[in-house]
Structure 1
Amino acid sequence: MFAKKTLLLAMFMTVALPLQADPLTVYGKINVTAQSSDEGAGSFSELKSNASRFGIKGDYELDGELSLVYQLEWEVDLTDDANEKNIKGRDQFIGLKGSFGTIKAGRNDTALKLSQGKVDLFNDYEADIKTLWKGENRMNNSLAYISPSFQGFSLLVSHIMEDTPEGKDGQSFALLYGDDALKESKLFASVAMDNEVNGYDATRVTGQVKVLGQLKVGAGLVQQEAVATGKKEDGWLANLSYPLDKYELKAQYQTLEEHKGFSFGTDYKIGKDTKLFAWYSSFDFDNKVDTDYLAIGIEHKF
């Protein structure tokens, strides 16, 4: 009920937009798939809402060449029952931006999570890299810093507060190079590290390069260690994507020790902000039941 009231308040604020001196940006994404899923007990059909979202954000000029930045974003499940589980918070913060960079306080994606850029070709789907790898964290009680870009390099830092007497602060760091959309540069690369974030230490290296015109080649390496047990695991990722007229063809392979998964699919643009897509994903787990998914879907951004 509280989440619904919060979202209604946000919608009211957008209606009152012309009356505000502070300009708001309303944005969102609706992504729904119809899919056949097999998670070990036999295949079944289902509709999935893949991190569909709604948000408002602003950038308000202050004195002294400072700007106030803020964002309120919620995930909306179009296929779930209309109850409190239908809406949940995503990145929500307030911060200051200046020549020193940007500092944000609230609920934020960690530096390590952000460091992947757009390398994960199946982000938000069943083959999202979080299926095998730890480190895809959005943390409460976090302070985030984003440095200005210098010669193509930028620094991301996250500090997660302990929140309880028994807790322990966590940190996440990332050094990025290039443009993650590969529009201003042909190379994007990052190295990142988590220190006691959500029960894990992790180190990750990711990169993506544009070759032979429009062919994008991506890769990643990870090492993660459970803080409680000291168990270490290593993995790697490789993928390809290629635009062909209105289509984009893509394939991805990911491992973590003996676990492995592969995916392939295609997107088809039917408008500036709208696409149809289809994909197939299969995971072979060493210590649990294998999974297979086949999906077709539609996405619209606003």
Structure 2
Amino acid sequence: MDKKYSFSVIRRLAYAAGLSLPAFSNALAEPFTFYGKLNLSYQYADEGEGNFSDLKSNSSRLGVKGELALQDDLTAFYLLEWQVDLADLSGDDNITSRNQYVGLLGNWGEISLGRQDTALKMAQGKLDQFNDLEGDIKNLWRGENRPGDTMTYRSPKWQDLQFTGTFIAGEKDGPSTYSASIAYGDAGLKSLPWYLVVANDSNVAGYDIQRLGGQYKLDDWVVGAMAQRQKRESDGDSRNGWLLSSAYTLQQLTLKMQYQELEQDWSLSAGVDYPLAKQVKLYAFLTRQDKQELPDKDWLGLGLEFRF
């Protein structure tokens, strides 16, 4: 999407939501949800070239979503989401595209078209305890893709089993590729205390990937594990990795740890979350990353997240 067009859309959405929400809602014929997540952290970093401090926007975003009931038990739905940088970038560079799609939902499942996270990316659920921060699994593993030209199908749940498939159309002479997952349980650990998933990418962004993960909640503990094999199509380079994550709720605090590895590369993170309200939390984290033939990197951060 053109950046100037995206910026214009955001300004209009913000104006409509802030000044004329009822009118905007009526124009869409159904109530809609305007939402966002604003996440900023002040970080002290050492990335191999000396220490420095930095204010970082961690995948902050704004979006609008909604649905409309149709005939024959069908529902149409849409989602438009943009990433905003609250710290470094300004002007047109401040806005980038995230998930943006339209689809249909029925008793046969749901199908959506547009730009969207692949089935393998969505399969991680909440296993990544440091998502969007320096300890995010995307900083060590491949597979965190959000391509355009996608068609995604998600089946109904059958005895807590669910299939998700993403077809990515090839552009010009490029090959069509796919991503798929089969999940068992509840990724949010709300209706069920467990979640198991197996996922596969076939030449998505130049990689074949197999991912196996699971998470379990027992009282105040949440523990998770994930294994990944990734092979680069261009030269056949293959690497294996694994991840362990945990979170423990102690009164109002949530204490978190995560270790991730890919052959000789590794990342270790520890952190704590403190909710100020249902939608607002303070957090702190410490991450160390060690990659072969690259300087070791360390980050210490204190941040604030506001959801609406």
TM-score (norm 2): 0.95
Q: Which amino acid aligns with 1:228?
A: S
Report if aligned partners of 2:181, 2:199 keep a CA contact under 8 Å in 1: yes
Say which of 252, 257, 264 aligns to 1:246: 252
User: Secondary structure of 1:19's match?
Assistant: helix
Say which of 39, 49, 73 aligns to 2:47: 39
Alignment RMSD (CA, Å): 1.0
C-alpha deviation, 1:17, in angstroms:
3.0
The reply to whether residue 269 of structure 1 matches residue 275 of structure 2 is yes
Counterparts of 2:190 and 2:103, CA distance in 1: 28
Runs of 4+ aligned structure 1 residues displaced above 4 Å come to none
* Unmatched tracts of structure 2, length 5 or more: none
Report if aligned partners of 2:220, 2:250 keep a CA contact under 8 Å in 1: no
User: Secondary structure of 1:140's match?
Assistant: coil
Counterparts of 2:60 and 2:25, CA distance in 1: 26
Counterparts of 2:144 and 2:254, CA distance in 1: 25
Counterparts of 1:109 and 1:59, CA distance in 2: 20
Counterparts of 2:83 and 2:14, CA distance in 1: 14
C-alpha deviation, 1:85, in angstroms:
1.3
Q: 1:158–1:247: structure 2 CA closer, same or farther, 3 Å change rule? A: same
Q: Which amino acid aligns with 1:109?
A: D
Counterparts of 1:3 and 1:82, CA distance in 2: 14
Counterparts of 2:85 and 2:100, CA distance in 1: 18
Q: Which amino acid aligns with 2:284?
A: A
Deviation per CA, 1:135-192, whole angstroms, max 9, x where unpaired?
0000111111111111111111001111122x11110000011111211111111000
Determine the structure 2 residue equivalent to 1:237: 243
Determine the structure 2 residue equivalent to 1:176: 183
User: Secondary structure of 2:147's match?
Assistant: strand
Counterparts of 2:125 and 2:89, CA distance in 1: 32
The reply to whether residue 85 of structure 1 matches residue 88 of structure 2 is no
Counterparts of 1:2 and 1:66, CA distance in 2: 31
Counterparts of 1:85 and 1:164, CA distance in 2: 28
C-alpha deviation, 1:87, in angstroms:
0.7
C-alpha deviation, 1:12, in angstroms:
4.4
Report if aligned partners of 2:168, 2:176 keep a CA contact under 8 Å in 1: yes
Determine the structure 2 residue equivalent to 1:297: 303
Q: Which amino acid aligns with 2:210?
A: T
C-alpha deviation, 1:240, in angstroms:
1.1
The reply to whether residue 129 of structure 1 matches residue 132 of structure 2 is no
Comparing 79-88 with 58-67, which one deviates more in the overlay?
A: 79-88
User: Secondary structure of 2:120's match?
Assistant: helix
* Unmatched tracts of structure 1, length 5 or more: none
Q: Which amino acid aligns with 1:97?
A: L
Counterparts of 2:25 and 2:217, CA distance in 1: 42
Q: Which amino acid aligns with 1:275?
A: K
C-alpha deviation, 1:210, in angstroms:
1.2
Deviation per CA, 1:177-215, whole angstroms, max 9, x where unpaired?
11112111111110000001000000000110012x121
- Give the share of equivalent positions with the same residue, in percent: 41
Q: Which amino acid aligns with 2:261?
A: T
Determine the structure 2 residue equivalent to 1:206: 213
Counterparts of 2:50 and 2:89, CA distance in 1: 24
Deviation per CA, 1:217-250, whole angstroms, max 9, x where unpaired?
1100000000001010000000110111111000
TM-score (norm 1): 0.97
The reply to whether residue 10 of structure 1 matches residue 18 of structure 2 is no
Counterparts of 1:73 and 1:207, CA distance in 2: 28
C-alpha deviation, 1:10, in angstroms:
2.6
Say which of 57, 67, 79 aligns to 2:65: 57
Counterparts of 2:13 and 2:111, CA distance in 1: 23
Report if aligned partners of 2:102, 2:114 keep a CA contact under 8 Å in 1: yes
Counterparts of 1:204 and 1:35, CA distance in 2: 31
User: Secondary structure of 1:113's match?
Assistant: helix
User: Secondary structure of 2:134's match?
Assistant: coil
Q: Which amino acid aligns with 1:201?
A: D
C-alpha deviation, 1:3, in angstroms:
2.2
Report if aligned partners of 2:25, 2:32 keep a CA contact under 8 Å in 1: no
Q: Which amino acid aligns with 1:223?
A: R
User: Secondary structure of 2:116's match?
Assistant: strand
Deviation per CA, 1:87-110, whole angstroms, max 9, x where unpaired?
111000011000111100000000
Counterparts of 1:18 and 1:96, CA distance in 2: 20
